Amino acid sequence: DGGITQSPKYLFRKEGQNVTLSCEQNLNHDAMYWYRQDPGQGLRLIYYSQIVNDFQKGDIAEGYSVSREKKESFPLTVTSAQKNPTAFYLCASWGGGANVLTFGAGSRLTVL
């Protein structure tokens, strides 16, 4: 089945540590996205990528970094510079004939 796989599903981190969230898709979609969702809040765009080796900052990119070395993969690193990283992180891809967003199941990060 085609889809998006995010890992880990749950992650605990100590303050000051960097952590990388994985996002892999086998939908052959060109564009990929990272969103952050806080409890009771909407989705805020962190980074997005149209093609391999290219990505753009979203609305809340500070304290995050990404890479897009392969079409299938778009990992997100939450750095120690992110002051309030506890949140639900959602990865999505855009493409195919319908041109809609397909989401992964999400990664829930908690900073202790």
Partner 1 sequence: GQQVMQIPQYQHVQEGEDFTTYCNSSTTLSNIQWYKQRPGGHPVFLIQLVKSGEVKKQKRLTFQFGEAKKNSSLHITATQTTDVGTYFCAGPYSGGYQKVTFGTGTKLQVIP
The residues binding partner 1 (CB under 8 A) are 31, 33, 35, 40-45, 48, 50, 56, 58-59, 90, 92, 94, 98-106
Residue 54 beta carbon to partner 1: minimum distance, rounded to whole angstroms: 10
CB 90 within 8 A of CB 108: no
Q: Closer CB to partner 1, residue 19 or residue 91?
A: 91
Q: Closer CB to partner 1, residue 11 or residue 45?
A: 45
Q: From residue 107, how far is each of 2, 38, 89, 90, 97 by CA, in Å?
A: 19, 12, 5, 7, 27
Structure tokens given for 59: 């609305």
Please list the residues that pair with 38 across neighbouring strands.
Answer: none
Residue 47 beta carbon to partner 1: minimum distance, rounded to whole angstroms: 11
Q: Closer CB to partner 1, residue 31 or residue 80?
A: 31
Residue 38 beta carbon to partner 1: minimum distance, rounded to whole angstroms: 11
N- to C-terminal Cα separation, the chain: 36
